[in-house]
Amino acid sequence: SQQGEEDPQALSIQEGENATMNCSYKTSINNLQWYRQNSGRGLVHLILIRSNEREKHSGRLRVTLDTSKKSSSLLITASRAADTASYFCATDPNSGGYQKVTFGTGTKLQVIP
Amino acid sequence: NAGVMQNPRHLVRRRGQEARLRCSPMKGHSHVYWYRQLPEEGLKFMVYLQKENIIDESGMPKERFSAEFPKEGPSILRIQQVVRGDSAAYFCASSPPPSGDTQYFGPGTRLTVL
């Protein structure tokens, strides 16, 4: 089964509103990453948060990580139409000495102008 | 500094044909990962390679699929005798040594099997 599970599966908001997406995972991790995928395109790396970090910011993005609950959230503030995309969390488990990430099924975000 | 390159971007094959997907990692990156994405799903890990070595192929189907990353040239994902179920987007990612935290993704190859 998938290591990462995003919630909600789909989200539709008005431009200017904030969007929050959640990710839950099952096993212990080294780090967790969020990616964006525009329709029919490749993935763009957004932000990485390590297991010993609780919160991280990058521009309009804010990521939190709660390792006790095995969950993370991605907040996009002041959303724009260009933020319309699918968002995936990816976890890098504590194993192997290399990065074998596992992706969730994604949250489809639609920002309505 | 070009990103990860994949070609072709779109590939159409008939059942039973072979599909060859190419991935050129970013300059200086010696780690390559292949993923498959079915419609409306997340990416599923297939294989992790370093130059001339397959490190982890636990996500590769046992038959018809193979991957290589030669000393010179791109990484190749090869699918023999394709079937309709192989239709998907195949993404390659690369990371720098020793095993960087961030994987950089290519634009993907969309394979359609008729």
Instruction: Give dist(CA B101, CA A39) in Å, integer.
Output: 25
How far B33 CA lies from chain A's nearest CA (Å)?
9
Instruction: Give dist(CA A80, CA A91) in Å, integer.
Output: 27
pLDDT on residue A2: 44
Range from A26-35, A96-105, B13-22 carrying the lowest mean pLDDT: A96-105
Show the beta-strand stretches assigned E in chain A: 5-7, 10-14, 19-24, 29-37, 43-50, 55-58, 61-66, 71-76, 85-93, 102-103, 107-112
Contacts of A97 (CB under 8 A, 6+ apart): B99
Instruction: Give dist(CA B106, CA B85) in Å, integer.
Output: 22
Range from A26-30, A58-62, A94-98 carrying the lowest mean pLDDT: A94-98
pLDDT on residue B1: 53
Residues of A contacting chain B (CB within 8 angstroms): 2, 4, 31, 33, 35, 40-45, 48, 88, 92, 96-106
Cis-peptide, bond into residue B8, ω within 30° of zero: yes
Please compute the mean of the pLDDT values over residues A16-25 and round it to a whole number: 94
Structure tokens at B75: 């990484």
Give the model's confidence band at A39: pLDDT under 50 very low, under 70 low, under 90 confident, else very high: confident
Residues of B contacting chain A (CB within 8 angstroms): 4, 31, 35, 40-45, 48, 55-56, 91, 93, 95, 99-108, 110
Q: How many CB pairs under 8 A join A and B?
A: 56
Model pLDDT for residues B76-93, shown as the tens digit of each residue: 999 999 999 999 999 999
CB A23 within 8 A of CB A74: yes
Tell me whether residues B106 and A48 touch, CB distance under 8 A.
Answer: no
Give the model's confidence band at B30: pLDDT under 50 very low, under 70 low, under 90 confident, else very high: confident
Chain B residues touching A44 at Cβ < 8 A: 105
Return the residue of B nearest to A39 by Cα. B40
Cis-peptide, bond into residue B25, ω within 30° of zero: no
pLDDT on residue A101: 72
How far A15 CA lies from chain B's nearest CA (Å)?
24
Backbone angles phi, psi at B44, to 5 degrees: -115, 130
Model pLDDT for residues B70-79, shown as the tens digit of each residue: 989 999 999 9
The share of chain B scoring above pLDDT 90, in percent, equals: 67
Chain A residues touching B45 at Cβ < 8 A: 100-102
Tell me whether residues B91 and A44 touch, CB distance under 8 A.
Answer: no
Residue B37, beta-bridge partner list: B43, B89
What is the secondary structure of B69-93 as a DSSP string?
--SSS-EEEEE-S--GGG-EEEEEE
Tell me whether residues B103 and A44 touch, CB distance under 8 A.
Answer: no
Contacts of A25 (CB under 8 A, 6+ apart): A3, A4, A5, A32, A70, A71, A72, A89, A91
Angle (CA) B48-B62-B86 rounded to 5° is 85
H helical segments located in B1-114: none
Structure tokens at B76: 């190749």
Chain B residues touching A43 at Cβ < 8 A: 43, 91, 93, 105
pLDDT on residue A20: 96
Model pLDDT for residues A90-104, shown as the tens digit of each residue: 887 655 555 667 777
Q: Give the Å distances, CA to CA, from B12 to A26, A102, A113, B5, B9.
A: 37, 28, 36, 19, 10
pLDDT on residue B54: 93
Length of chain B: 114
Give the model's confidence band at A107: pLDDT under 50 very low, under 70 low, under 90 confident, else very high: very high
Return the residue of B nearest to A38 by Cα. B107
Give the model's confidence band at A1: pLDDT under 50 very low, under 70 low, under 90 confident, else very high: very low
